[in-house]
Amino acid sequence: MSDTKSKSKELKEKLLMQRKNAFFRLTDDEVKVCDDFCEGYKNFMNSSKTEREAVITSAEILKSKGFVEYTNGMKLKAGDKIYRINRRKAVIAAVIGTENIENGVRLCAAHIDSPRLDLKQNPLYEDNEIALFKTHYYGGIKKYQWTTIPLSLHGVIVKADGTSVSVNIGEAENDPVFCVTDLLPHLANEQMKRPLAQGVKGEDLNIVIGSRPFRDDEASNAVKLNIMSILNEKYGIVEADFISAELEAVPAFKAKDVGFDRSLIGAYGHDDRVCAYPALMATVDCDSPKHTVVTVLTDKEETGSDGNTGLCSSYLKYFIADIAEALGSNGRTVLSASECLSADVNAAFDPTYPEVNERNNCAYVNKGVCITKYTGARGKSGTSDASAEFAGRIRRLMDSHNVIWQTGELGKVDEGGGGTVAAYIANLNVDTIDMGVPVLSMHAPYEIVSKIDTYMAYKAFAVFMAD
């Protein structure tokens, strides 16, 4: 009897897949390494609420670690550390490897834009003596989640004379914040009967920015005038300058530990900075790699990757061609031999909403970095679908370096779906697979990730870059 039992236990271990909580596979010291790594991540999050700010923070980190800005014509050799910024909204970092570049680069791609409320080009108006900003949401949001939370305003305004001014207000302790209102339940009978998607409509996402009129003015729109006067004093702008501005309203929350055990992190914009930061840190920690390492932190993923700062543009391809030529090869040859981890988040199983996931094929918090072979929707439409061979190679690589990982796809078949930049990189003839951190409440103003999973993403990227 006992023999049979031990035999089945032995067979189980040998034949069946284990999906243990990563905590049981780590010592207390190893868990502390994960937690310590996440202190740096929280700092990064608090100073990088938009793609522009993430580029500035990343460039500071890169420069402090000896990376220099790459310009065409620069001579390159093994060990060189370079970066290139694309229009202040995307950044590519590279470490030149010892191997011939014709054998391909190790590419890591994450995005640094997140869902938010963008100001319209003519945003400022007054209605019944309250001043507001009109917005157009950016990326996929559940609109009701963006009401009645403190918002900060970030971005840049280009004035008529061509000079520009940066805006960052609502983050410092004594800064004012901004807010989208919602109806009180007492008067929401009609609103509450609407389907959730229409409870708060796109044109309802108006941000309250003031309520006191300009004192000496008898005319209409005195509150608007007063706000414009404050903005003119603070930023030197006039109303028409909004036309050439990019102003983004984002949650004013700081990244914080979540839970009595502090095992999780709550923050705005984990998608996808929880992959961007580990990818960046793996790159700066990567000394004299065999293959050249290229990490791109891109913009515009949340709106489909179009535009010259998104990965449907050629900026990554051009960068690789430039360094390939500097090293005596060409972009086509290098890309065709390259491998890529498309570093993006996946949905974590939420015990409150279990019905959207298929339990054998979804990601769980604390079970490690998630490998996603394919994304897409309705019959894998829009996916690049990594080959079994490449999935096998990455799996072997992770296992041989004790990276704790899991596999999962985004929800049940036909429940919905989504994509990443994987397809656009795979389209350049690069072997590509998605790998990233599982997130709870993805695309909400406050998302949640696990500290262990976040560190495992760093470890996975580091192992891939060093291979």
Q: How far is the CB of 5 from Mn ion (least distance, A)?
A: 45
Least distance (Å) between residue 346 CB and Mn ion: 9
Give me the residue label for tokens 């078949």. 413
Question: Residue 451 contacts by C-beta under 8 Å, 6 or more apart in sequence?
Answer: 34, 35, 37, 38, 262, 263, 264, 265
Using an 8 Å Cβ cutoff, are 109 and 296 in contact? Answer: yes
Q: How far is the CB of 238 from Mn ion (least distance, A)?
A: 35
Q: Which letter does DSSP use for residue 214 in this model? A: P
State the pairing for strand pair 369-372/346-347.
unpaired
Within 13 Å and on the Cβ side, how many CA atoms surround 124? 23
Nearer to Mn ion, 305 or 338 (CB): 305
Closest CA to 168 of 253, 244, 247, 271: 247
Task: Give the residue with the Cβ less far from Mn ion, 115 or 210.
Answer: 115
Nearer of residues 294 and 437 to Mn ion, judged by Cβ: 437
Whose CB is nearest to Mn ion? 272
Residue 234, Cβ neighbours under 10 Å: how many? 11
Please tell me what DSSP assigns to residue 79.
T
Q: CA-to-CA distance for 261 and 231, rounded, in angstroms?
A: 44
CB of 110 to Mn ion, least distance (A): 8
Dist CA 187 CA 271 (whole Å): 35
Give the nearest distance from C-beta 416 to Mn ion in angstroms. 13
Query: Taking the complex as a whole, how short is the minimal distance between the CB of residue 271 and Mn ion, in angstroms?
Result: 4
Closest to Mn ion by CB, 133 vs 268, is: 268
Where on the chain is the footprint of Mn ion (CB under 5 A)?
Answer: 271-272, 344
Least CB distance to Mn ion at residue 407 (A):
18
Q: Is the Cβ of residue 81 or residue 443 nearer to Mn ion in the bound state?
A: 443
Residue pair 30/451 in contact (Cβ under 8 Å)? The answer is: no
Q: Which is nearer to Mn ion, 271 or 339 (CB)?
A: 271
Residue (10 or 415) nearer to Mn ion, CB: 415
Q: Which is nearer to Mn ion, 271 or 299 (CB)?
A: 271
Question: Please, what is the Cα angle at 179 between 219 and 154, to 5 degrees?
Answer: 95
Alpha helices, DSSP H, located in 153-305: 189-193, 196-199, 222-235, 270-284
Give least dist CB 51 to Mn ion, A: 12
